[in-house]
Amino acid sequence: MLHHDKPTYDQSRTRIAPRTREILRIAAHLDKTDTAREITLEWLESASKTELPDEAWSGNAFHHEADKRTFTAVHAKENGSETWALRFVEPEEGEIEREWTTEVAIRQQPGEDAEFCLRTLAKSTEAKMRVQPRVPGFLEHVVKECTMEQGAAKIEKEPWVVESEYDAANLAEFLVDPDRRTPAFVLTVPEESEDPVSPLLDPMPLTADTLGIAKVIVLPAEYTWKLTNRFGKRLSVYRGAMRVYLSGFNDRADPEGGHDLFMPHRMDTPETAAKLGSLLRWMAARESLRGWRLGQDVIPFVSAILPSIELESATLAENDASAADQLAASTRHVAMLREELKLALEIQQSLTEENQSIEGRMRESEAKLRKTQVRPRPTFDRGPRPSYEDRGRPQFDRGGSRPQYGDRGRPAFDRPPRQYEDRGSRPFEGRGRSFEDRGRPAFANRGRGPYDRDRDRGFERDRPRPRYSQYGDNDDDEGYGE
């Protein structure tokens, strides 16, 4: 076989299929819908270095592609509410092929504050994402120009610095607020620090990357005793350490239930601080997926597609659009729905694999726990076994000098051996000693049986028994057989 005839390595068959993962979610109440939409479009247009169509600035549906970037927006009206949703897809330049998807939805209902929702998804072939999750940059500008609230808390672009005892008391109430949906990162300042509001971990980049998915709080050393008096030392934080207070925290919470405490040595160098910052960003992103429910708290892009298609079809019918225009719109709608179905299947596959991975880690942890609970009994070297003389017992001799039973304190058996020579030809005839030898009377000298009396009187057992009528009705059986 020639060299060029050998089978080659087919890379297309061994290539790992890309998976789509959801990274984070954000839900908040917004006061200025038009301002938030314009800021989002301006930032995306500037980042992608393209020019969006006029339909984008009027709040209508549009589709735009430029330099491998895709913009798709829909506008829907349903049950008195008006929804504007945008999807922005952008590939990441680098050795690893990644594709980032950002979804923004704004829903306005009459008489209520608008709902602002944001989702970030990533598509890659990596088994584990080697990136740090962070919110898109335009959210910081939206927070600066508009008011965004999550329950009783306001989203701010700077960390919350406790400056008085009143703020410390409000912090304790904020931590136990049942409406709090995002984790709180409380950074304390060491007592020997020159700057009373400068913790070991820089709070500014952490606040920018976790804007809307976590609350960063700086607690000076002089106010840490407020949390200690309220929650005790087990749930407090002080002396330069930092603690994560997840949503649902209360006075009776378990310190091991996810409210992690990080000591100062976890952030005293740039390397350790970078590792801790990455861990906190991933923790905030995972908590956002767990805290905000998709379809109820967060508006997905797909939920606005069907109402948008119905609205566009009704508009084309009212304007007496041509058949070609309606066919083109239908073709575009089918392609959009096909892409949504493909994306949903990829996300479902990713969630299934992640669930299997979690179950595998749980089984491994349970196996390790069982091994630690069932430990082998320790063996001790007791040395050579002492002899019988050392233990005060007579030596056991299997030879001819073995002591008799009587000498060993056991009862002696002096019964003479059985006389097997007296056996007859029958199996049970003459076995052992005779009755006379054993002091027992023979059958002839033993007690009389039940038929001995009748046999002596000449009674025949085979003789038929007479009927009672032969002896009269009043006769009894007295003298019967004589």
Residue 44 lies in a domain: yes
Same domain, 38 and 137: yes
Per-residue pLDDT tens, the chain, 482 aa: give them.
444 444 444 444 545 677 888 899 999 999 889 999 999 999 999 988 889 998 899 888 888 888 888 898 888 888 788 899 999 999 988 778 889 999 999 999 888 889 999 999 998 888 788 888 999 999 999 999 999 999 878 999 999 999 999 999 999 999 999 999 999 999 999 999 999 999 999 999 999 999 999 999 999 999 999 999 999 999 999 999 999 999 989 988 888 778 999 999 999 899 999 999 999 999 999 999 998 988 888 988 888 877 666 666 666 677 777 777 767 777 776 777 777 776 777 667 666 766 777 778 788 888 888 777 766 666 655 666 666 566 665 555 555 555 555 555 555 455 555 554 555 545 544 455 555 555 555 555 455 555 455 554 554 455 555 554 444 444 444 443 33
Can you give the pLDDT at residue 354?
67
Q: Are 176 and 246 part of one and the same domain?
A: yes
Kindly state whether residues 176 and 133 are assigned to the same domain.
no
User: For residue 373, is it within any domain?
Assistant: no
Same domain, 55 and 179: no
Minimal CA–CA distance to 435: which of 451, 424, 446?
Answer: 446
The three-state DSSP-derived secondary structure of the chain is CCHHHCCCCCHHHHCCCCEEEEEEEEEEEECCHHHHHHHHHHHHHHHHCCCCCHHHHCCCCEEEEECCEEEEEEEEEECCEEEEEEEEEEEECCCCCEEEEEEEEEEECCCCCEEEEEEEEEEECCCCCCCCCCCCCHHHHHHHHCCEEECCEECCCCCEECCCHHHHHHHHHHHCCCCCCCCEEEEECCCCCCCCCCCCCCHHHHHHHCECCEEEEEECHHHHHHHHHHHCCCCCCCCCCEEEECCCCCCCCCCCCCCCEECHHHCCCHHHHHHHHHHHHHHHHHHHHHHCCECCCECCHHHHHHHHHHHHHHHHHHCCCCHHHHHHHHHHHHHHHHHHHHHHHHHHHHHHHHHHHHHHHHHHHHHHHHHHHCCCCCCCCCCCCCCCCCCCCCCCCCCCCCCCCCCCCCCCCCCCCCCHHHCCCCCCCCCCCCCCCCCCCCHHHCCCCCCHHHHHCCCCCCCCCCCHHHHCCCCCCCCCCC
Examine the domain organization and report whether 173 and 241 are in the same domain: yes
Residues 122 and 172 in one domain: no
Q: Which of 150, 181, 210 is the last residue of a domain?
A: 150
Specify if 77 maps to a domain: yes
Task: Indicate whether 181 belongs to any domain.
Answer: yes
CA-to-CA separations, 207 to 163, 346, 435, 470, 475, in angstroms, rounded: 18, 31, 111, 127, 125
Are 146 and 198 in a shared domain? no
Of 267, 286, 287, 278, the residue nearest 201 (C-alpha): 267
Q: How far is CA 19 from the centre of its chain?
A: 21
Residues with Cβ within 8 Å of 258's Cβ and at least 6 positions away in sequence, in order, are 244, 246
> In the listed set 220, 237, 268, which residue is the last one of a domain according to the structure?
268
Nearest-5° Cα angle at 211, 208 to 217: 85
Q: Would you state the pLDDT for residue 468?
A: 45
Look at residue 11 in the predicted model and tell me its pLDDT: 47
CATH number at residue 195: 3.40.30.10
Contact 255, 153 (CB under 8 A): no
CATH of the domain at 140: 3.30.310
Adjacent-strand bridge partners of 259: none
240/184 same-domain check: yes
**Do 79 and 176 reside in the same domain of the chain?**
no
**251 within a domain of the structure (yes/no):** yes
**Structural domain tally of the chain?**
2
User: Tokens representing 147?
Assistant: 């008011």
Q: Are residues 73 and 133 in the same domain?
A: yes
Q: Is residue 443 part of a domain?
A: no
Indicate whether 134 and 162 sit together in one domain. no
pLDDT of residue 19: 81
Point out the domain boundary residue: 95, 124, 150. Answer: 150
Burial class of residue 45, CB neighbours in 10 A (0-12, 13-18, 19+): middle
209 occurs within a structural domain: yes
Q: Pick from 201, 107, 92, 218: which is nearest to 163 by CA?
A: 218
- Under 8 Å between Cβ of 43 and 140: no
pTM for the structure as a whole = 0.68
pLDDT of residue 441: 56
Q: Which domain holds residue 81?
A: 13-150
- Say yes or no: 180 and 263 in one domain: yes
In DSSP terms, 90 is beta-bridged to 100
* Residue 142 belongs to a domain: yes
> What pLDDT, on a 0 to 100 scale, did the predictor assign at position 469?
46
